[in-house]
Copies of this chain bind each other. A is one copy, B any other.
């Protein structure tokens, strides 16, 4: 066992998920078991809380409170969109050192992994014994190495159930329905809409992913063809779809220029993409009278009460494993989930640099043409969503006409 004694700091970063607190609580409760860990601190607002020394002493939180928090969506330690550079990471390291922190667990996506990597490097350069573990989290499911990311399963469950519902709604009052789904440059979340289908003619009938190029004319043609076949059409479209040149369709149709803190085009928080796609159909296809668009927005990552059980458990486990890898194995790294069966997983630790900085997206074998997903993807995502509510149509014979 590692002989490094000192404190633990846990922090959360980026967009929240339904299960991010499971990971935090997993890391906290597991850390509290080790005698060489003197205190477990939670930094408020991610790395900003570290630099500003805003810590809560989670050693003094009750287990019941932590268990309640674990079941609460969104980052209980609050979050941050900060993408620290080397200088900022040096600040982080300075504070961690001052507090005799020997274990730093950072829950987040690829940017957080990059922060963890630099902080780890700073500690190494200073010959300060620090173990830094990145705990994966993102509804976009776009981290490298790991089979999937905690947070994704629950968001995917929300998206698939949302599409089940709007499919039933649209069946009773037919027309074209467009649902815009989060995920930035990865289509995993949009693709999960396919799990909402039960009967062969159920929607979503068209699924547009950021991994394939989106052509406006083809989109209109696809919708018309589906409408002609089923008398209605349900579309799942990723907020991050781009044209052949890589220009976001959001920018193309809306001239939106809003950028986030990282200089990326603001894709979420507005209904513009859905509305413009709906307008395209309204303006170009006169025979289709009813066109509706919803942008699922923040509901899909923070809705209270819709959570995948598997996702919840795995989020808890990656948090626990972070503490175990750091203390028992004396290692730094990023916790990954390896799929070992259908369905079983194992947790591994990979080097921080393998997950840091660059994100990934849907592999080609999950994508079918330009508007659908493969059976392979369905088998990939189903266990991550787990059991969902089902639905049924009436089975009864038609009555002969009398008039």
Interface flags for A41-75 (1: CB within 8 Å of B; 0: not) read 11000000000011111101110011011011111
**Contacting pair B402 A53 (CB below 8 A):** yes
Q: Which residues of B contact A61 (CB under 8 A)?
A: 394-396
**Contacting pair A297 B292 (CB below 8 A):** yes
A168 within 8 A of B: yes
- Report the copy number of this chain in the oligomer: 2
**Contacting pair B168 A72 (CB below 8 A):** yes
CB-CB contacts below 8 Å: A275-308 with B: 275, 278, 291-299, 301-306
A359 within 8 A of B: no
Q: Which residues of B contact A128 (CB under 8 A)?
A: none
**Chain B binder among A130-138, A266-274, A342-350, A361-369:** A266-274
A220 within 8 A of B: no
Specify which of B16, B164, B293 is in contact with A173 (CB 8 Å cutoff).
B16
Q: Which residues of B contact A165 (CB under 8 A)?
A: 73-74, 298-299, 302-304
**Contacting pair A271 B269 (CB below 8 A):** no
**Chain B binder among A221-229, A311-319, A373-381, A385-393:** A385-393
A358 within 8 A of B: no
Interface flags for A206-243 (1: CB within 8 Å of B; 0: not) read 00000000000000000000000000000000000000
Interface centre among A53, A69, A99, A169 (most CB of B within 10 A): A169
**Contacting pair B166 A72 (CB below 8 A):** no
A77 within 8 A of B: yes
Nearest CB in chain B to that of A269: its residue:
B292
**Contacting pair A398 B57 (CB below 8 A):** yes
A79 within 8 A of B: yes
Bound-state CA distance A99–B399 (Å) is: 10
Q: Which residues of B contact A265 (CB under 8 A)?
A: none
Interface flags for A229-262 (1: CB within 8 Å of B; 0: not) read 0000000000000000000000000000000000
**Contacting pair A171 B74 (CB below 8 A):** yes
Bound-state CA distance A212–B206 (Å) is: 41
Bound-state CA distance A391–B303 (Å) is: 11
Bound-state CA distance A221–B232 (Å) is: 43
Q: Which residues of B contact A303 (CB under 8 A)?
A: 161-162, 165
**Contacting pair B301 A75 (CB below 8 A):** no
Q: Which residues of B contact A278 (CB under 8 A)?
A: 269-270
**Contacting pair A164 B272 (CB below 8 A):** no
Specify which of B272, B304, B306, B389 is in contact with A391 (CB 8 Å cutoff).
B304
Q: Which residues of B contact A270 (CB under 8 A)?
A: 271, 274-275, 278, 292-293
**Contacting pair B294 A74 (CB below 8 A):** no
**Contacting pair B274 A168 (CB below 8 A):** no
Bound-state CA distance A94–B403 (Å) is: 9
Q: Which residues of B contact A395 (CB under 8 A)?
A: 61-62, 65
- Which A residues contact B (CB, under 8 angstroms)? 12, 15-16, 41-42, 53-58, 60-62, 65-66, 68-69, 71-81, 94-95, 98-99, 161-162, 164-166, 168-169, 171-173, 177, 196, 268-272, 274-275, 278, 291-299, 301-306, 388-399, 401-403
9 tightest A-B CB contacts, nearest first: A271-B271, A294-B297, A269-B292, A74-B168, A68-B392, A305-B389, A165-B302, A55-B399, A72-B391
